[in-house]
């Protein structure tokens, strides 16, 4: 038979347990409430609507998981970059990669024969470069749910070299590449080398105003070319030194491996982890060094201005890995333009 002292101990333990459970339940409720409030604000901010309650419930669950991941990452010690909510925060990593990338490396053109080693006096290489400041970069665009990143990377590089050579910045047509470049697969993916070759063989590419972007593949339309290129060159693989020499001369198309961290990137110098399973195409439009000495590439993406730093990313440069962070130095190329 239990003594009065033992009974008091049991009651005390039970009281502590009840208080603990109540506190946990309250914390859980507050957490769920704050997540629900964040979801409502996020939906309003991005104009998101769902077809029914089932879809809304599914997206809320994914949003909550992404928000938890972001909070844990940002609060998990000193990091070189921050994650944040953006228009893609109700998508899983797998869904996002499937709907917002589009790189396919089955190029019909041999790279080894066209890779060009650049040799420039280091004294002539500027310590930093931002082609936006030199007028060679158009506004950030949005590929939408079409696997056309390859077309946006191609066009950004062509827009850049045309402005550098002619001093005219002309927004060009990604849609023409999506519709007309038969060596690529439209919204099902492609590769920039094929697209550069199409522009050369087609004797040019139309302006964006003459052939506007639709976000889905359509029938190829005839349109007057706005600019031409002479061809393209590949940067030797796995050499950030050669990549730097190329970017010092013009914007360069590159491919990268993206993951959940890349999807939720918000600011500062991204250093992964992201691996080297290449699945997305972007454009390097410059490079620089932070005040504390961290070198980075300046990346122009095609996911709209609500992603990253107004559509751009700082990606760690000279990481010590030959292929670079996210494989940025593995498959880089740029268009050429020889004026008569």
Residue 232: the pLDDT is: 97
End-to-end CA distance of the chain: 106
Domain range annotation of the chain: 4-79, 93-336
Q: CATH code for 4-79? A: 1.10.287
Residue 123: the pLDDT is: 60
- Is 3.40.50.1820 the CATH number for 93-336? no
pLDDT, tens only, 121-175: 556 789 999 999 999 999 999 999 999 999 999 999 999 999 999 999 999 999 9
Q: Using only C-alpha atoms, what is the Rg of the chain?
A: 25
Reported for 214-220, long-range contacts at CB under 8 A and 24+ positions apart, including other chains, are 214/175, 215/143, 215/144, 215/145, 215/146, 216/146, 216/187, 217/146, 217/178, 217/179, 217/186, 217/187, 217/188, 218/175, 218/178, 218/179, 219/179, 220/176, 220/179, 220/180
Q: Residue ranges of the chain with pLDDT lower than 50? A: 1-30, 112-113
Residue positions annotated with a catalytic role: 149, 280, 301
Rounded Cα gap, residues 190 and 333, in angstroms? 14
Residue 163: the pLDDT is: 98
Using a 10 angstrom Cβ sphere, with 0-12 exposed, 13-18 middle and 19 or more buried, the burial of residue 211 is buried
- On whether the CB atoms of residues 223 and 210 are closer than 8 A, the answer is yes
Using a 10 angstrom Cβ sphere, with 0-12 exposed, 13-18 middle and 19 or more buried, the burial of residue 263 is buried
Residue 77: the pLDDT is: 86
């Amino acid at each position: 038979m239990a003594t009065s002292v033992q009974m008091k101990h049991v009651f005390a333990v039970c009281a502590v347990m009840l208080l603990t459970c109540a506190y946990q339940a309250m914390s859980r409720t507050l957490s769920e409430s704050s997540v629900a409030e964040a979801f409502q604000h996020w939906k309003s901010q991005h104009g998101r609507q769902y077809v029914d309650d089932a879809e809304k419930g599914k997206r809320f669950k994914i949003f909550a998981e992404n928000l938890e991941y972001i909070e844990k990452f940002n609060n998990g010690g000193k990091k070189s970059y921050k994650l944040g909510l953006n228009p893609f925060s109700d998508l899983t990593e797998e869904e996002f990669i499937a709907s917002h990338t589009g790189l396919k490396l089955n190029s019909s053109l041999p790279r080894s024969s066209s890779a060009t080693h650049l040799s420039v006096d280091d004294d002539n290489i500027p310590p930093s470069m931002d082609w936006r400041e030199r007028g060679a970069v158009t506004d950030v665009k949005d590929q939408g749910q079409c696997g056309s990143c390859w077309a946006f990377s191609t066009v950004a590089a062509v827009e850049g070299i045309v402005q550098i050579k002619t001093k005219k910045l002309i927004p060009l047509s990604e849609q023409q590449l999506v519709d007309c470049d038969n060596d690529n697969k439209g919204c099902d993916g492609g590769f920039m080398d094929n697209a550069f070759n199409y522009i050369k063989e087609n004797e040019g590419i139309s302006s964006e105003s003459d052939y506007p972007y639709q976000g889905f593949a359509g029938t190829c339309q005839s349109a007057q070319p706005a600019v031409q290129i002479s061809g393209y060159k590949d940067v030797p693989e796995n050499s950030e030194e050669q990549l730097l020499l190329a970017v010092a001369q013009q914007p360069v198309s590159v491919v990268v491996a993206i993951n959940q961290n890349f999807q939720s990137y918000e600011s500062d110098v991204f250093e992964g982890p992201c691996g080297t399973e290449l699945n997305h195409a972007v454009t390097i439009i410059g490079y620089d060094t932070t005040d504390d000495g961290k070198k980075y590439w300046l990346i122009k993406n095609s996911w709209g201005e609500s992603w990253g730093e107004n559509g751009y990313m700082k990606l760690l440069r000279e990481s010590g890995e030959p292929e670079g962070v996210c494989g940025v130095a593995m498959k880089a190329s740029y268009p050429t333009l020889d004026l008569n």
